[in-house]
Chains A and B, each alone.
Chain A
Amino acid sequence: MSARLRSLLLTLAAPVLAVVFAAIITSIVLSVSGHGPIETLSLMVDYGFQPRTISLTINSATTYFFAALAVAVAFRMNLFNIGVDGQYRLAAMLAAAVGGAVALPGPLHVLLIVVVAMLVGAAWAAIAGILKATRGVSEVISTIMLNFIATGIVAYLLNTDRLAVQVAGSNNIGTKHIPESGHMPGLSLIPGSGTQQVFGFVIIAILAGIAFQVLLNRTRFGFDLRATGQSESAAIASGVNVKRMVVISMVISGAVAGLVGMPQLLGASYSYGLDFPTGLGFTGIAIALLGRNHPVGIAIGALLFGFLDNSSNILQINEIPNEIVVIMQGVIVLSVVVAYELVRRYKLVAEQRRVSRELSAGGTGGPAPEGAAA
């Protein structure tokens, strides 16, 4: 057990190291630009722990969580789904259009919108999966291209001649407003946060995280997926149909990507307009790296990013450039990637030593320093 504890501590060491390193870099940047690092941080923390801000942070994190989870599903299989961005935008837009066009009783309406979004996301991602399985096209390339195509399709459809309507009196256009029955009620989770409720979708996010973990670790499918991710050749030899796995995992990744836009769509904007947030898929990649493709890690990473994002306003009010937030996020992700690799190597060597130590201590008469010599 102590070995397991050690391994757990080591696993935690990487992100902690990375955050500390990022804090140092940020402090340097702040000092150079003439702002006190401590003051800045306490400003961010003070603001960040106000009830309203906590709500906002959770809401941002909910969205990020889905984006990172979608990336992580593919990552676990060594697939790089850069297309989460296009998948969620296309999914959110079409789901919003469907949601605005029908009238159904409450839960059914929400369910319909969510299902449409997941189907669209899955179908869009499946294209990349099928291209890879049948033609060997790198999913990195195809998903980047599919992002562009998704942008084009959204632009084409989000037009007042087609799916969009002009928002009265505004220069914005969007899909038809989803009626009340299709709204996901918010939760007053944080006492004192006033009108700023937490997205009801946060519950779905938690469920999705649990489902992710169960699927990967407790099912045969999850085993096959992880095996393929760790060693494609070994997976093939073990009887995994890798091509089919590629398509299926892209479909799952895309379905989760379809959920990315849902908290915002069903909890706040109720319409897909020009001001619908973009680029979440890329933030998702960063958070998936940060969270090491593990739901708990992703949740923490998403909260951290949400916290940093929401502190941009308070920084500006206090004359601190809000770009510091982006610098921090970038440095954290970069240092996490490096720190994880270092810790991974260290862990491997440490484990090999531990094995040889325990074997030689056991004195079973076998050749002594097997691992150490290897």
Chain B
Amino acid sequence: MRRDKVAKLGLALMTSALLTISAAACGGGSNDAKTGASEGAAKGGGGAKVGLAYDIGGRGDQSFNDAAARGLDKAKSELKVEGKELEASPGETDAQKEERLRLLAQGGYNPIIGIGFAYSAPMTKVAKEFPNVKFAIVDDAGAQAPNISNLTFAEHEGSFLVGAAAALKSKKNSVGFVGGVKVPLIAKFEAGFLAGAKHVKKDIKTSVQYLTNPPDMTGFNDPAKGQVAAKGMIDGGADVVYHAAGGSGGGVFKAAKEGNAMAIGVDSDQALTADAAVKDVIITSMVKRVDVAVFDFLKSFTDNTVQAGEKVYDLKAGGVDYSTTGGKVDEIKAQLDELKQKIISGEIKVSAKTGA
């Protein structure tokens, strides 16, 4: 009897796993179809063959993999390059990432771009084996080699500006930050945001919440959690909430809408991309131009001006910024631009660490 129970339980588990998997596969499949189509269109340009290695999620993740894909798409049409896109599987090891990069290099792809810090160690290794191939890695400065370009972002600087915007727009003198997963990268957003808010209003009340802790990465893709967290903050008095929570941001917007509060988007100009029903609560977004970084790198490659080492996409370089779509920050634009100039000129130094 017990044996039956175990077998049944096992079967049930596997079935549900399979359902999840096949659902994921359906999603993945359609994405791949898109990829194939866009690649077909780009062919014939005869430019460089670009290898793009995504992190888990790949093209279609509505987050920074997608941003990288936009950069590639732009390069395809403007620079006439070809692209090959590979994505990581959940639970894989560095060895498999390494193999992915190596396969691309062996397949004649040059340059090769790794999206996400997880490619740091694998790229360091593979770049040594292929000294004639140019590599680039997004969000990581650790991988150092004469043929690796590190494309990093000053998220804290952009966040400083939206933090200032939040403080200026807040009527209740209280703002909140919702982070997707408590990883160092997101802590940079938090640090900049809090610093910006405090900079314009010393006594402002701030609240911070992360949705999940690593290795649980679902915080980047769980709108329900985002909504609960944001609702809690709004109920607690906050009237502007900034999220750095990827796909969970949708929930934050919803909570802001229901609570008559304001929200700030992240990564892309979400007043353009978010669900139509909640667009009007988004006063601004902290844009992180991964697409620009990817495109710039590809452009430098076609121009033969690739530089190894870290290239920080900060306010100065236009890698991060705040958006103005919707006109909700027009009345404070002058103040924000002044802050922006002070950061660019170095008059204001924004720390990437919280509590500093």
Contacts and interface: CB of A to CB of B under 8 A. Distances in A.
Determine whether A and B are in direct contact in the complex, meaning some CB atoms lie less than 8 angstroms apart: yes
Interface in A268-314: 268-269, 274-280, 282-283, 285-286, 289, 309-310, 312-314
A321 B95 contact: no
A173 B117 CA distance: 10
Nearest to B119: A275
A181 interface: no
Given A60-B93, A172-B142, A317 B13 contact: no
Given A169-B150, A171-B184, A334-B11, A268 B93 contact: yes
A277 B142 contact: no
Q: Report the contact-size class of chain A (Cβ under 8 Å from the partner).
A: 35 or more
A317 B85 CA distance: 8
A75 B3 CA distance: 9
A309 B7 contact: no
Given A316-B87, A323-B29, A156 B21 contact: no
A interface secondary structure, majority: helix
Contacts of A241: none
B103 interface: yes
A156 B213 contact: yes
Interface string B218-246: 00000000000000000000000000000
Interface string B76-105: 000000001111011111111001100110
Contact of A78 (B3, B14, B15, B87): B3
B17 interface: yes
Contact of A326 (B21, B129, B143, B310): B21
A323 B26 CA distance: 9
Interface stretch (A98-106, A147-155, A246-254, A363-371): A147-155
Nearest to B10: A289
A172 B118 contact: yes
B132 interface: no
Contacts of A80: 6, 9-10
A33 B87 CA distance: 19
Contacts of B17: 282, 286, 330
A326 B87 CA distance: 14
Given A172-B118, A333-B14, A317 B103 contact: yes
Given A286-B14, A330-B18, A341-B7, A309 B142 contact: no
B104 to A, nearest CB: 8
B214 interface: yes
Contact of B140 (A154, A169, A277): A169
Contacts of A173: 183-184
A341 B11 CA distance: 11
A285 B139 contact: no
A317 B108 CA distance: 12
Contact of A279 (B35, B91, B103): B91
B15 A334 contact: yes
Nearest to B155: A171
Contacts of A59: 93, 95
Interface in B269-309: none
B327 interface: no
B14 A330 contact: yes
A1 B261 CA distance: 79
A337 B118 contact: no
B341 interface: no
A268 B94 contact: yes
A323 B96 contact: no
Interface residues of B, number: 61
Nearest to A267: B95
B6 A334 contact: no
A321 B14 contact: no
A168 B142 contact: yes
A52 interface: yes
Contacts of A33: 29
A268 B96 contact: no
B117 A155 contact: no
A334 B12 CA distance: 10
B28 interface: yes
A120 interface: no
Contacts of B13: 82, 285
A168 B142 CA distance: 6
A321 B25 contact: yes
Nearest to B17: A330
B103 A331 contact: no
A276 B215 contact: yes
A322 interface: yes
Contact of B95 (A78, A196, A279): A196
A63 B14 CA distance: 20
Contacts of B260: none
A73 interface: no
Contact of A317 (B24, B84, B117, B139): B84
Given A155-B215, A171-B139, A312-B89, A323 B99 contact: no
Contacts of B91: 277-280, 283
Given A269-B94, A277-B93, A323-B21, A171 B2 contact: no
A170 B95 contact: no
B131 interface: no
Nearest to A336: B14
A217 interface: no
Contacts of B142: 167-170, 172
A323 B28 contact: yes
Given A229-B3, A310-B99, A327-B21, 16 more contacts: A59-B95, A78-B2, A155-B215, A169-B141, A171-B117, A172-B142, A275-B118, A286-B17, A316-B85, A317-B107, A321-B25, A323-B25, A324-B25, A330-B18, A334-B18, A337-B10
8 contacts: A56-B95, A78-B6, A168-B142, A171-B139, A172-B118, A172-B184, A196-B95, A317-B86
Please give me the 6 A-B residue pairs with the lowest Cβ-Cβ distance, nearest first: A155-B213, A169-B141, A323-B25, A170-B142, A169-B142, A330-B18
